[in-house]
Amino acid sequence: MYALNEGSRILWGGTANGITGIHEWTFTDRPSGVHVTTTESFAGEPVAADVANMRTLLDQSLRSWLQQLKVVAENS
């Protein structure tokens, strides 16, 4: 973990299979609930070899994580 601001931000990353990923999640209280923003980046030879496909996979992963978080939060 690179940084943790309890209740507002998580920043972490690592390398697996030649890809280094950096992940940041921010949480902002709003009158209607908590607004979650996530940004991620990938780098490495596998990414450079297929940028378009890796971007698609990253976008799909982010949508999936946010949807799962929403389901858990709404059922808690």
Domain boundaries, the chain: 3-74
Residue with token string 């971007």 = 55
DSSP states of 27-59: EEEETTEEEEEEEEEEESHHHHHTHHHHHHHHH
Amino acid identity, residue 47?
Answer: V
Q: What percent of the chain has pLDDT over 90?
A: 89
pTM summary value: 0.78
- Is the confidence at residue 76, as pLDDT, over 90? no
Q: What is the mean pLDDT of residues 45-69?
A: 93
